[in-house]
Amino acid sequence: MTLVEDAACAAGASYRGRPAGSMGVASAFSFHPRKAITTGEGGMVTTDDDGIAAAVRSLRNHGATTAAR
């Protein structure tokens, strides 16, 4: 079973000694204005999986890439 953690309102929380965002292969946090931490919009995905991280980086830019410098 694969767990993707919805940690939208859980920044700083823990469950059975494990911090929110550390229990799934990926975790999503929200920075919407009604959440505990806000940036006006946006969010954050945490993962230690290189493939998921690369996919999220691509999706955050709608699949667009930048030229290597």
By annotation, the residues acting in catalysis are 35
Find the largest Cα–Cα distance for the chain.
44
* Exposure on the CB side of residue 17, measured as CA atoms within 13 A: 0
Q: Which of 48, 57, 59, 53 has its CA nearest to residue 24?
A: 48
